[in-house]
Structure 1
C-alpha cells in the first residue's frame, strides 16, 4: 500500500512504513507549503524530523528508528534553510532552528546558535539561554558594573557541579503561569502541581539555588527574555502555600524590576550588553563546545550522568521492555545536554568595548545629525520610503514614492559619510537613480492607473518588496491592489479579493529569504492575507488569499503584520485595533485610554511591542497580549513612525518637521533632531540602523545620522 501525492506535477509514492505513523494525526500538510526540514533528536536518539511550513508553523514527527526517518525524509521535498533556501538537509546546519532566527537583534542572532538541535515542539529539547545577571537583591541595577553580571566562563559555584541541561523546564514547567505550559505540566504530572516549595516563585531564590545546590540544574528558557506574562498568575491557579506560610502566586521579581515587563526588558538588555558579548563564547564552549565532554569538561566541573548525553545509550539495544521504559523515564526526568557542536574554542565576538570613540565627532549638531539632503525634480511630497539596503541584494536601495505616484530607486552605497554637502553627493550613501535624475519625462516611473478619488494617498498605500524589485500599490477604483516592477515601471499583476476599495497594505518578511506576507485592508472592514513567493515574485498564478480576517465593523485605516510572531494588527477608521493570527483567528482588541479612538499608524516589533498612533498626537505601546504599557500625547500631527530593528527605539515625524526618538517601552524622549523646513511624510531605517531616511512634503529626502547605542548607554544603564 502506498499513498500517491501530486506535488507540482510530480507523483510521490510514500512508503507504507511511513504512512503507518500518520494514522490519528489531526492535520494535513501540503508538500508545496514545506519550507525547511530539520533532523532532531528525541530521547537522545536521532529518530525525529521537524518540518517547517510557509505559515510559520512546524510539526515534529518521531519515528521508531533511523531507517524509517530516512524513508520519510526521502519522500519530502528537497528543501533546506538559508538565505536562498541554501543548505541541503544532510548538512550539520540542518540542526539549527529557524523559528528564532533573524537579524534584527543580538538575541535573535544568538538564538540560532544557542538552540541547535532543540525545538519548541519537544519539551525535553527546549531551547535554552544563560543566566546573565548575578544581582537579584539590590534596589538598583547598574549595567555598567561587571560585578552585576554572571561569570559565563564557569558553569556555577566551584562546589556545585551543575548540568547545562534545561532542568528548569523539566521540574518546574509551571514556572510559566501561562498556557500551554501549565496544561503540559499538569498532563505530565497526573493533573497536579508540584510541591509549593519546589514551584518557581522567586527569580532571586532560583538564582541562589543554582549557585548553592549541586542538584539544581537550571539554565533559562527564551521566555525570560521576551514573555513577561510567564511571571504572572493571571489565570488564578491555586499553586499552594510554601512552608513559610506564603501563598505561591505571581513570581517575586528583583527589587530593581518594578513590573514583569521591566524585568524582561532589563534581562534582555543585559543579554545584549557588551559584557555578555565579551564572555558569551566561553559559555558556548561549556554548553555546546570543547568543554562539554572529555578532559576539558572534567577540569571545568562540567561532567554529568551519561544518560544526559547524546549517544550515551542506544534504546534499540535494550531488549527488556521494563528496562527500556525505565531508561526513557530517566532521560525525560533529568534533562538532556545540548548537541555537541564544537571541538575547538569558539572565537570571541568583536566588541564595541574594544573601540576608542571620540564624543566630539563634529563641530555642531546639524553637521553631526544630517548626512544629506536630496531633492527630487517633481516637488511632489514624498509619501513612502522603503530602505532595503542589505549588502547582499542585487540593488541595495532606498525606494521612494511621491503623492503623485512617481517612484524612484535610489541606489545605496554601504558607506556612511556624515557631514557631506550636496556638492559631494557622489560620496553619499544614497545615489539618485539615473532614470529619474536626468529629468526626462518619458523616463519617469509613474503609476498612472486610476485611483479612487476619495483615497488619501499616504505611506500605508504602498509596499516595497525586500529585494526592491516590486512596488505594491492600493486604492484603485476596481477594488484591487497592483504590483509594479520598480525596474521598468510596468504593471505585473492585479490582485482582487476585496468587495470594496483597498485602503492599506503592509508586508513582513518570512524566515525564508524573499518570501513575505502581504496584508490588505479595505472599506468593507475585512483584511486579506496573501503570501508573496520570493521564488516566483508573484502572489500566485491564480491569487487567492491565505486567510480572511474579520472583526472590524468599518473601514480599515491601518495595518501591520509580523511574520516572526505570526500576527496581524489592524486599526478601524474609528477604532478599535484588533490582533489576529496570520491564520485568521481573532485574538483580542487593544484598548487605549478612553476617548482615544481613530488609529492611523501601527508598528509592531518581533519582540512583541505594538506601537499605535491615534489622531491628535496620541501614542500607545501595547504588549501583544493586549496590556497597555505606556502612552503619551504630542503637539504634532504625526505622519510617520518607525521602530528600530531590536524594538527598543521609536522614531516619529510629522507636520512640524521634527524627528524625535523615543524609548519604545516607556515612550520617554531620547533625542530631538533639528527641525526641517518641511513636514515629514514618511521614514525608514537602513539595515545597519545607522541612517534614518525621511520623506518630506517638499519633495526632498533627508538622511539623518542615528546612534541608538549612544542614547542607550546615556539614558538606560541604571535601573
Structure 2
C-alpha cells in the first residue's frame, strides 16, 4: 500500500528518490500544547525533500523540502515511547501535506515552524544523515548549482555500484556493455545501471521504486531502437519491445550522462546478432500514407517520432493539428469544406486581425525577431488538456496546485476561440483528441477531483463538448473521422510542411508567418558549450517552459495524399511492418506459370510488345540485338514471322494502327534510324534517320497520333505517323525536339497521354507536357547513375524510376519531391504494370512484384538465366511476356490468388 501511495510524481519534476527507511515519526509544533503521538511509516530520502508515508492510509503524506529545513541532526529521545534512542531531528519552517484521506487534491502547505522526530526501526541515523547533510548543503545553493551538486552526489553513489550479475537469466550469456543510465517517464527520472549481454538488456535501478528490482528485455523481443533528444541534448534512447505475456508493445526510454555513452550503447545494441530490428524507412511510410495504406493519424504519429516527439517526454510530446473550426452547430457535415480549419496556415495566422497586430509588433522588433511569443506545444499545454486524466502530473508540474478554474480546459469551443484571438495562445492539439481507443476519457473528471468554481459559479466537472457531439467517445470518433476525411487528406501535407517540413524555419517560415522565439529551434544553442551553470540552467528553463520546435524532417514540400481511406481504427504506426521477400510467408498475390518459351534470337532480346488492334488475336513482337524482328501468335504459341530488319542491333519497338486500318511497327535501330514496317504486306515502307546517335526507346500516343523517339544524342523527338501508302518528307513528319543534358535512356507516357517522362544516363528525370507546347514541367536529378526504366503510376501522380545503382525511386509529380527510395538486391532493368502492381525485371533474371500502395515486395520469380531486359503485359492482365539476355522470349500465365 505504501508504494501505491508514494510515487515520484509527488516530488519536484526530475527529482531523484534515493532510498527509504522504516521509521516512526512525531511532530512537535511551537503552537502545540499537546505533542502528537508517534506514527509508523517509511521515510523517503530524496534529492530535494524528505517524504514520510504513514501506514495509516487516512493520514497525509508529509513532504519536508530541504530548502525549508534549518536543522537535521541526531538527538536522543527520553519519552520512552519508541524502541530506540537513535533519533533524527529535522526542523523546518514549513511542510506540505499530500493525499490526506488518500484523496487526490491540491497539496496543503503548512506555514508553521515544526520539529520532526524520526525514530529508525532497523537502521541508524548515521546511515542516512551524512547524505542528508550533503543534500541540505546543496539546497542552500541557487537552483542551477544545487542541481549540479545533486548530480555529483548521484554519480558518486552510482560509481560505487556495479550491476548485480546474479540477476542474469542465463549463465551462458556474455556481458557486452555496462553504463549508468536514467529510466525516464514524464516528469520522472530514475537512475540505475544498464547491462547489455548477448541475449538481453537489463536495467537495475538504484532504489526500490520500480515494479521489478531488475527490468529484463530479451533482445529478440525488441522491435525498434531510436536515438532521442532529452532535455535539449542528444543523450536519449527509446527501445520498443513486445511483452510476451500479453503480446503488447512496451517502451523503455533512457537518458545517458553524455552523447558518447548513448551512442556506445546504441552501437553495441545494434551489433548483437539476437537483435532483429524492423526497418521502417521514412520514404516507405510516406509512400504507404500517400497511397492510402496508412491512416493520417498513424502517419502523424510516425512523423512525430521521426522528429524526436515521444509520449515519455512532456517537453517533446507528439503534436497534432486542429482540423475542425466548427464547434458551435448542432450538426457536423464532414463533406462540407467550411467546417475545416485552413491547414496551410499556422494557428497564429488563422485570424487576420490578430495576425496584423503580431506582424506590426514583429516589424518593430530587433533581431532575432519572432511572431509568436508562445508555442504550439509545451508541457503546460499538454497537461492543460490532460489534467482530468493525469491530475498528479499537473500537481507535480505546478508545485501541488491546479490551475485557476477559469484558466482550465473547460470547453472545447472556448479553447478554439482563444487560440484564434488571444495574443499569446497558439497551441495545437495532442494525439488523445483523435485516439478512439481511449473513448475520450481525458475529457471526463473520473477521479471526482474538486477543481473549484469558475467566476460565474459553475463547478468544474467534465469538459463541455460541441453541440454536435453526443458524448466524449462520440466527440473523439467524429474528430478522428474528420482527420481521416478527404478534405484533410488532401491538405494535411501543408500542415506537415509548417511543423516538420521546409516551412519550419528560414525564409519559407517568414513567408508562411511561422516564426517562433529563436531558442525553441533545434540547434539554436549548444548547451554543452555553456560553462556557467546558472546561465545554462536559465536557458534550459526558458526553453523547457516555452516549448520546442520538432526536428526538421522534410527539406522539400511534402507530397499530397493520393488516396483517402475510410476511417477504420488502426494500431499505431510502429506496428506496421515492412515486408521483405525473404520474410513473406503468405500465399503470393500473383503467381506466374511458364506456358511458352521461344528461343529464336541469336543475341539478347531488346524489347517485347503485344499488338492486338485489327488482328485476329493477340500477337507478340520481339526485336533483338541480332537485328531481327519476330512476330508470334499467342493463340497458337508459334512463331509466325522472322525478318532481318538491320545489320546492327535493334533496341526498341512501338505499334500503331492507321486510319485505313494498316498495322505498322516502328523499330528503333543503333544506326540512328526509325524503321517503319507494314505488318500486313510484310515490308519496310520507310526509314527515317531522325537522330545523330542510336535510338534508345520509342513510344506511341494514340490520342495525339504521334511517335516519340529518344536517343543517345540527348534528344527526344516527336513525329507524325504515316500510312504505308503515303510517302511524307522528313521535315513534314517532324513536330518537336526536347533537349536533355545527357543520353536519353528511357521514357514513358501517362495513361491519359497528357504527360511524357524521360530518364537520362546521368540520372536526371524530365517531365514534359504532351500538348502543342511540349513544355518542360520540371527536371530533377533523381539518381546518381543511369536510369534504366521509368513509368507513371495509374493516375499519373507519381513517377517511378529505377537505376543502374540498384535504386527504385518514386517522385511526386506535383512537387517533384522524392517520396520513396529503396535499394534492391540486384540492378532493376525494366518496369511494367499488371493491374495495380508493378513488375520489375532485374539483372539476375528475376521478376519482382511490388505493391505501391503498401510499398512492399509481394512476390519474386526466376525467369531468365542472366538479365531480364524487357517485359510487357497482355491487355487482360492474364499474360506476362519477358525477354532476356539469354536470347529467350517467355510467355507466362498470370494467376491471381
**Normalised-by-shorter TM-score class:** 0.3 to 0.5
By relative contact order (CA 8 Å, sep 6+), the higher-ranking structure is: 1
User: TM-score, structure 1 length as denominator?
Assistant: 0.46
User: TM-score, structure 2 length as denominator?
Assistant: 0.37
More strand by share: 2
Higher radius of gyration, 1 or 2: 2
